[in-house]
Structure 1
Amino acid sequence: MIGNFEILGRLLLAALLGSAVGFERERLVWAAGMRTHMLVCVGSCLIVIVSAFGFSDILGTPNVSLDPSRMAAQVVSGIGFLGAGTIMLRGEMVKGLTTAAGLWAVAAIGLAAGTGLYVAAIATTAIVLLILAGMKPLEARYRERAQTRTLTITARRGTITIEVLRGLSGSYASRLLQFVAQPTAEDGIDTIDVSYVHIPEKSFDEIVAALRARDGVTSVS
């Protein structure tokens, strides 16, 4: 059986590590913020301490066996209901998966702190923070390049053809996904819908500027 100061130290460490991960979520104004992550981490820590040491007084009793891993396993599966509460469907976008995974990781950190695996708990916290904060700019940059960008061009008929557009697109001509020209009510004027995929915002803006500067183009939106 560990002493009271050791128990207190493990709980405080779990609270500290949980707050570090929770702060990263808090600054992005997610539903599960600092307090939620701290509670999950401290609760997991206490559960595994109770599982490992709370029943020591009945050890040795006939027909009684103790498996401390059982309560830890229930934490791993039971934390799912909290994670599910952070996941939201907005249109065709699923939000909150990262926060749910963070809660699951924080529960594991609490278990590690509760069993005295301090190095593992601290190292996991550092890795989780690196994933949440450090990888986000790289992920955002990739998504920016991967998203589809669309244009609606109003121009004099024959002014903008697919060959002209490919010429204006330069090295991104292969990223031209769609080109649809339709006549408008105004004689000799066409509306052209254009889509690009995997094109950086800066290059897309340059194409838009080149189109707006071209003779015969009425509008680009």
Structure 2
Amino acid sequence: MLDEMEIVVRLLAAALFGGVIGFERERLSWAGLRTHMLVCVGAALFMIVSTEGFADALQQPHASFDPSRVAAQVASGIGFLGAGAILMRRGVVRGLTTAASLWAVAALGLAVGGGLYGAASAATLIMLFILLALKPLERRYLERRGTRLLQLRGPQASLCYDNVTARLGGRAKYIRQYIVTPSDKARDHGDATIVLAGAGARESAEILARLQALPGVRQIDGREP
């Protein structure tokens, strides 16, 4: 049996690891610091209850249990938060990476709840590397493949996917990925990341010109101006 101090340490560690990932997400998405911390602490508590909460029941004759069942239920149950993170709101699709980070943070909580501090620490560092360091590398890879990346900022009403495709007309066929995340600078504004495939320099320039003609929309380079 774990003593009370060890349980508190595990819950606080879960809050810390979840908060590290949540802080990074806070800059870009509405599911940020508190959400990730709560998910991680909740998952840790589930794991602690699974392994420690039924000690009295095990004293009964012929009693047995499988702690891994709770971990499996957390892995599948976290999906409701992920679904909420990627819902389309006002015609804007966003939150795919945040949904994945919530799912991963639940795994962090299970690891900490099970006392696997080393695994949880390593996973936190790997997640931060994926979220922070791989984005520039991904952009360069797309450019080398002849895929063009456009990044725009403007009112969410202007960046609505249906509105964008209507403005592009036949040029919309070049869109392979369209993601909008809410801006942390202005309310009801967003940052759109558009991946074009098969479009030459001329077509890409035309697409960019049409999109910049939308009310309030301007091009950005992926960094805060």
Q: Which amino acid aligns with 1:101?
A: A
Aligned match of 1:146: 147
Aligned match of 2:199: 197
Secondary structure of 1:88 counterpart:
coil
Aligned match of 1:24: 24
Aligned match of 1:10: 10
Whether the 8 Å CA contact 2:15–2:38 is kept in 1: the answer is yes
Aligned pairs for 1:76-95 (under 5 A) are 76-89=75-88, 94-95=93-94
- What is the rounded CA distance, in whole Å, between the counterparts of 1:113 and 1:101 in structure 2? 19
Aligned match of 1:33: 32
Q: Which amino acid aligns with 1:103?
A: L
Residue deviations 1:45-97 (CA, integer Å, cap 9, x gap):
00000000011111131232111111111000000000000003479974211
- What is the rounded CA distance, in whole Å, between the counterparts of 2:134 and 2:200 in structure 1? 20
Shift in CA distance, 140/94, structure 1 to aligned 2, threshold 3 Å: farther
Quote the RMSD (CA, aligned, Å): 3.1
- What is the rounded CA distance, in whole Å, between the counterparts of 1:123 and 1:94 in structure 2? 31
Shift in CA distance, 5/71, structure 1 to aligned 2, threshold 3 Å: same
Deviation at 1:147, TM superposition (A): 2.8
Shift in CA distance, 25/198, structure 1 to aligned 2, threshold 3 Å: farther
Shift in CA distance, 51/196, structure 1 to aligned 2, threshold 3 Å: closer
Query: Could you state the TM-score of these two structures normalised by the residue count of structure 1?
Result: 0.64
Identity level (%): 59
- What is the rounded CA distance, in whole Å, between the counterparts of 1:49 and 1:39 in structure 2? 15
Deviation at 1:143, TM superposition (A): 4.8
Q: Which amino acid aligns with 1:65?
A: S
Deviation at 1:21, TM superposition (A): 0.2
- What is the rounded CA distance, in whole Å, between the counterparts of 2:109 and 2:22 in structure 1? 13
- What is the rounded CA distance, in whole Å, between the counterparts of 1:129 and 1:27 in structure 2? 13
Q: Which deviates more, 83-92 or 63-72?
A: 83-92
Of Structure 1 and Structure 2, which has the larger fraction of its residues in strand? 1
Whether the 8 Å CA contact 1:26–1:34 is kept in 2: the answer is yes
Q: Which amino acid aligns with 2:199?
A: V
- What is the rounded CA distance, in whole Å, between the counterparts of 1:148 and 1:134 in structure 2? 17
Unaligned runs of 5+ in 2: 151-173, 175-196, 210-225
Structure with the greater alpha carbon radius of gyration: 1
Whether the 8 Å CA contact 1:40–1:107 is kept in 2: the answer is yes
Aligned match of 2:72: 73
Aligned match of 1:215: none
- What is the rounded CA distance, in whole Å, between the counterparts of 2:108 and 2:121 in structure 1? 8
- What is the rounded CA distance, in whole Å, between the counterparts of 1:196 and 1:92 in structure 2? 25
Aligned match of 2:48: 49
